[in-house]
C-alpha cells in the first residue's frame, strides 16, 4: 500500500506562499504514570496533552459495548492502561495480565483514545505485547479509527492488525502512515488474527502512550487582543513602539507610525489591512499560538499588497485572526 502527502498553496494578494502544513507542538501522553491498579473510572485525560483514554467492554446480555474501568500497570515490560470490566469483578485486581490488561479473557474489551481539538495523531505505543513464549500464537490486536466514540452504531474502520514478540514486548504504531492521523478516535482491541472469532484468551496487552501534534492554523488572536496594554507581555520580537516600516519593510503608513498606532487606527482599505497584518505578525511569532502563516509569509503578503488587493489580504488575515485566541 502506498501513501501520498498533499500540499496546498495559498495566494495572498499577488504573492504566492507555498504552504506545506507541518506538525508542530508535539505532545506525548504517558499512560503508565500515576496511581496503579483499578482506577475506578472508565476515562482518564492526560493533563499535558488533553488526550483522553476510555475503557469499554462488550456486554453479551445487552448486546452493547459499555463503559469499563481502566487499570494501570507500571512494571518493566508491563506499562500502561488495561481494562477492568464488571464481569471480572475482584479478579481484575488479583489476577494477572490476562485479566487486568486489555484482553478478551472474560469479555471483549476496547480502549478508545480521543485526540484534543486542533491536534492530529502521530503514534500509539503498546506494551506487554509478547509472543506467548512460543506456546500457541503470539498476542495480537487491532487498531481502528472511529468518528464519534460509540462502537454501538458501527462506523469503525480498521487501520491495521499487529502481533507481539517475546524479543520486544513494546511496539509503536505509526498512525500517520496508517492513515488515521485525523481520526477523532482511535480504538485498540485484542484480537486473534489467526482465528476467525477473536477468542484467543492469551491476547492481552497495555496501551502505554499516545503522541499527537498540533495542527497549524487552528488559532489566532484579534487586533483587539494585541492592542490591550495588559497583553503586551504576549508580544514576541517586537514591542508596541516599534514601527510598522521596521517590521514589514513597507512605507504604506510612512516611516514613523508604530505597530500599536496601526492597531488602534480605524478605517477600511489599507488601515483595516494594517490592523490585521500586525495581529497576524504577532500571532505568527508567538509559539503559544498555532497560527496558519509564518512571519515571512505575513510580511511578504503585506509587501505584495496594492490598492486593489488590500481587502483580500485583510480578509485572509482576519479569517485566521478570529480562529480563537489561546492566550490569557
Both 71 and 100 in one domain: the answer is: yes
Of 214, 240, 261, which closes a domain? 214
Looking at residue 6, its pLDDT comes to 24
Beta-ladder partners of 204: 103
Both 57 and 197 in one domain: the answer is: yes
Beta-ladder partners of 69: 84
Position 327 in a domain: no
Return the residue matching grid coordinates 513602539.
Answer: 241
Both 33 and 167 in one domain: the answer is: yes
Provide block-wise average pLDDT over 10 residues at a time, the chain (328 residues): 25 34 64 96 95 97 97 95 95 88 92 92 96 81 96 94 92 96 96 61 90 85 97 97 97 96 96 98 93 92 93 95 93
DSSP-H helix ranges across the chain = 91-94, 97-100, 175-178, 223-226, 244-248, 259-264, 270-285, 295-303, 310-321
Looking at residue 325, its pLDDT comes to 95
Position 79 in a domain: yes
Looking at residue 86, its pLDDT comes to 95
Q: Which residues in the chain belong to E strands, given as ranges? A: 8-12, 15-19, 24-30, 37-38, 43-45, 52-59, 64-67, 69-75, 78-84, 102-103, 109-114, 119-127, 140-146, 157-163, 171-174, 185-190, 204-214
Looking at residue 132, its pLDDT comes to 80
Position 3 in a domain: no
- Determine the Cα–Cα distance for residues 167 and 169; give it in Å rounded to an integer: 7
Position 326 in a domain: no
Looking at residue 215, its pLDDT comes to 78
Looking at residue 243, its pLDDT comes to 98
What's the pTM value of the predicted model, to 2 decimals?
A: 0.68
Query: In terms of C-beta density within 10 A (0-12 exposed, 13-18 middle, 19 or more buried), how is residue 7 classed?
Result: exposed
Q: Which domain holds residue 170?
A: 24-214
Looking at residue 21, its pLDDT comes to 34
Both 46 and 192 in one domain: the answer is: yes
Both 164 and 273 in one domain: the answer is: no
Of 166, 194, 214, which closes a domain? 214
Supply the CATH number for residue 131's domain.
2.60.120
The cell for 25 is: 507542538
- Determine the Cα–Cα distance for residues 169 and 208; give it in Å rounded to an integer: 11
Position 158 in a domain: yes
Position 1 in a domain: no
Instruction: Give, as one character, the DSSP assignment of residue 99.
Output: H
- Determine the Cα–Cα distance for residues 309 and 316; give it in Å rounded to an integer: 11
Amino acid at each position: 500500500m502506498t501513501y501520498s502527502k498533499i500540499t496546498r498553496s495559498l495566494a495572498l494578494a499577488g504573492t504566492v506562499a507555498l504552504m506545506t502544513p507541518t506538525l508542530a507542538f508535539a505532545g506525548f501522553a504517558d499512560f503508565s504514570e500515576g496511581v496503579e491498579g483499578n482506577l475506578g473510572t472508565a476515562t482518564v485525560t492526560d493533563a499535558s496533552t488533553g488526550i483522553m483514554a476510555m475503557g469499554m467492554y462488550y456486554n453479551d446480555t445487552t448486546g452493547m459495548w459499555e463503559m469499563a474501568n481502566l487499570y494501570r500497570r507500571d512494571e518493566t515490560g508491563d506499562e500502561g492502561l488495561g481494562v477492568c470490566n464488571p464481569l471480572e469483578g475482584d479478579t481484575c485486581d488479583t489476577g494477572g495480565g490476562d485479566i487486568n490488561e486489555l484482553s478478551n479473557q472474560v469479555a471483549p474489551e476496547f480502549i478508545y483514545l480521543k485526540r484534543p481539538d486542533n491536534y492530529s495523531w502521530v503514534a500509539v505505543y503498546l506494551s506487554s505485547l509478547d509472543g506467548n513464549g512460543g506456546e500457541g500464537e503470539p498476542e495480537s490486536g487491532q487498531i481502528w479509527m472511529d468518528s464519534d466514540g460509540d462502537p454501538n452504531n458501527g462506523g469503525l474502520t480498521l487501520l491495521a492488525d499487529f502481533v507481539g514478540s517475546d524479543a520486544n514486548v513494546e511496539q509503536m504504531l505509526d498512525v500517520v502512515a496508517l492513515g488515521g492521523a485525523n481520526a477523532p478516535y482511535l480504538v485498540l482491541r485484542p484480537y486473534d488474527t489467526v482465528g476467525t472469532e477473536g477468542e484467543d484468551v492469551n491476547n492481552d496487552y497495555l496501551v502505554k502512550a499516545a503522541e499527537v501534534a498540533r495542527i497549524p492554523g487552528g488559532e489566532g488572536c484579534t487586533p483587539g487582543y494585541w492592542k490591550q496594554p495588559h497583553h503586551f507581555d504576549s508580544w514576541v520580537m517586537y514591542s508596541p513602539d516599534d514601527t510598522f516600516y521596521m517590521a514589514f519593510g513597507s512605507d504604506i503608513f510612512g516611516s514613523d507610525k508604530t505597530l500599536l498606532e496601526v492597531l488602534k487606527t480605524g478605517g477600511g482599505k489599507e488601515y483595516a489591512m494594517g490592523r490585521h497584518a500586525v495581529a497576524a505578525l504577532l500571532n505568527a511569532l508567538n509559539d503559544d499560538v498555532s497560527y496558519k502563516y509564518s512571519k515571512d509569509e505575513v510580511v511578504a503578503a503585506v509587501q505584495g499588497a496594492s490598492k486593489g488587493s488590500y481587502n483580500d489580504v485583510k480578509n485572509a488575515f482576519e479569517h485566521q485572526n478570529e480562529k480563537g485566541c489561546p492566550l490569557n
